[in-house]
Structure 1
Amino acid sequence: MSASSTAGVASVPAASRRAALGLAYGVAGVACFSGTMPATRLAVAGLDPLFIGLGRALVAAALAALLLAATRQRWPSARQWARLALVSAGVVVGFPLFSSLALASVSANHAALFTGLLPLCTALFGAWFAHERPRAPFWVCALAGSALVTGHAWLAAGGALAGADGYLIVAVVLCGLGYAEGGRLARELGSWQVICWALLLAAPFVAWPVWTARPTGPVDAASWAGFAYVSVVSMFLGFFVWYRGLALGGIARVSQVQLLQPFGGMLAAAALLGESLSWGLVGVTAAVAVCVAVGRRAA
């Protein structure tokens, strides 16, 4: 066997391990993000949605500044700063702000179902920005999984959409943009470095709105606990593993595990908020899990 053939055979297990590791990081990220909607719902009971949506970015930016300074990271190039602006617009400002506005008037379960559109949005932006070209069966599975999730949301709402659903759709599209571009940048800057630099970039722009929306009276402990979760876990630590997963396993392939995020969010909502679960939800979860498994192989 020639040296080139031997190298080709050896690269197959290495690629498989890389894909498996990327998937494991992606699942860890989804686990972190699953608590976002219930935690936000807790927070909006006592805090202004604007303060929650942008304030969590400010808290996370302070942590990011400490970490970047302690590790003496190299500053991004001008081209990378422009791309970091897309990440900031999507995951630091857009999704937190619009989802907080929506959760002031809809349940965490209802909002969590809309995150079922995130894998499709992320994969589409990944195909556009990263030039990933999954095969046709992958797109069929992605569309089927998204249809299952949104269809369940439609039926649960009695065949109607809530007024806040426009906020949720904008939030999901912006988040998909930030996920895909962040996954690309993670291959150059590193996974946790991407979210840290994106947070620092956004901090000067969110500081004043956060100050104007700050609480002026007493706030209950549950609201502060929800705010702490979305600030430290959803806005900071969760991205460490999520962007690592996208960089290792491919944006389109790893993004499909997000199809399970709505159901993780509903379990968290049931535990934290007492929101009910149904057998229909269990059935849809099982069907979506099949779509994730088949789609990952098809990619």
Structure 2
Amino acid sequence: MRAKSNVIVPPGVTLGALGVVGFSFSLPATRLAVAGLDPWFVAFGRALVAGVLAIAYLALSRAPLPSVTQLRRLVVVAVGIVVGFPLFTSLALTTQTSAHSAVVIAVLPMCTAIWAVVRASERPPLAFWLSSGAGLLAVLAFVATGGGFSGSLSLADVYLLVAVVLCGLGYAEGGALSRELGGARTVCWALVVSLPVTLPISLYTADFSRATGVVWLSFAYVALISMFLGFFAWYAGLAAGGVAKIGQIQLAQPVLTLMWSALVLGESVGWLALATSAVVLVCVVLTQRNRAPAPAAETAQAVR
């Protein structure tokens, strides 16, 4: 008689992991896209494409209109994930490598956890902060040892840090709001709210003279996955498992991005990446063990 496995992966962790896998190729894809398109168009154009898809999704799902209070919170979400992060990472990747950017963005899970305390009223225990901090240190140590960090703060680094602060805010606010609206509807309404900004800027910065097939494929990825479908899973995961807790799964994203950078962009990644991957995955597991998963009913609401 075979013994049953006691290992059960909470839905929030599964959804969050799916989101991270989707996001992990965002920086390499953006790097390829800005090689042939204006970085402002890459940032706002992808939100415009996702916004059109969002209108279709909301119409087909017959989503009710958000309340005035929810609209105000959706503006905060839009500032973080629709405008802030795409714009500042696009600007940074015109001069900086995807691998270097992945390392700087390694501080995003910690930033998300801090915003979760401020905006989502979460109170992670000390063990959570220790596990999260250990994962962050492992990634930063990898960068320093591997030569991915030059030691000087460039303008691109400033762009990336601004992107991280705004993205952490958008993640925390969106994750909390997803408990009311659902993950898919939260990102869709944020995209629709942003259309008065994303539409005119996209039209103004549209210049396709240098765009190649690879550029368009990369742009399609950041529009369909990074800006749309990836958030369906990510926000649902944040709502179901807690913003601070699920946000730490993104500690694995820099390592995944480095792997994509090596495979697609030809950047070298050595054995240190593998060692860091192992340490980071352990830290992710520890952060997930520090808090109980959300009830099943809340998970079902979060997915919508």
TM-score norm. by structure 2 comes to 0.90
Report what 1:237 is aligned to: 229
- 1:266/1:39 Cα in 2 relative to 1: closer, same or farther (>3 Å)? same
Is the 1:57–1:235 contact (alpha carbons within 8 Å) kept by the matching residues of 2? yes
> Cα RMSD (Å) of the superposition?
1.7
Partners of 1:154 and 1:68 in 2: CA distance:
45
Partners of 1:98 and 1:263 in 2: CA distance:
21
Partners of 1:224 and 1:216 in 2: CA distance:
10
Task: Report the Cα offset of residue 151 of structure 1.
Answer: 3.4
1:90-121: CA deviation from partner (whole Å, max 9, x where unpaired)? 00000000000000001111111222111111
Partners of 2:269 and 2:164 in 1: CA distance:
23
Report what 2:193 is aligned to: 201
Report what 1:39 is aligned to: 29
Match status 1:220 vs 2:220: no
Report what 1:83 is aligned to: 73
Task: Report the Cα offset of residue 269 of structure 1.
Answer: 1.5
AA at the equivalent of 1:209: I
Match status 1:106 vs 2:103: no
1:177-220: CA deviation from partner (whole Å, max 9, x where unpaired)? 00111111111011100000000000111222211211152511
Which of 160, 167, 170 does residue 162 from structure 2 map onto? 170
Larger CA deviation: 280-289 vs 52-61: 280-289
SS at match of 1:241: helix
- 1:23/1:46 Cα in 2 relative to 1: closer, same or farther (>3 Å)? same
Structure 1, unmatched stretches of 5+, are: 1-15
Match status 1:95 vs 2:68: no
Which of 146, 161, 165 does residue 136 from structure 2 map onto? 146
- 1:46/1:65 Cα in 2 relative to 1: closer, same or farther (>3 Å)? same
1:38-62: CA deviation from partner (whole Å, max 9, x where unpaired)? 0001101100101001110000000
**Percent of aligned positions that are identical:** 46
Is the 1:18–1:248 contact (alpha carbons within 8 Å) kept by the matching residues of 2? no
Structure 2, unmatched stretches of 5+, are: 1-5, 292-304
Match status 1:266 vs 2:262: no
Partners of 1:157 and 1:188 in 2: CA distance:
40
AA at the equivalent of 2:180: E
AA at the equivalent of 2:105: T
Where is the helix percentage greater, Structure 1 or Structure 2? 1
Partners of 2:82 and 2:56 in 1: CA distance:
18
Larger CA deviation: 201-210 vs 40-49: 201-210
Which of 41, 60, 65 does residue 70 from structure 1 map onto? 60
Larger CA deviation: 260-269 vs 99-108: 260-269
SS at match of 1:90: helix
Report what 1:186 is aligned to: 178
TM-score norm. by structure 1 comes to 0.91
Which of 30, 33, 43 does residue 53 from structure 1 map onto? 43
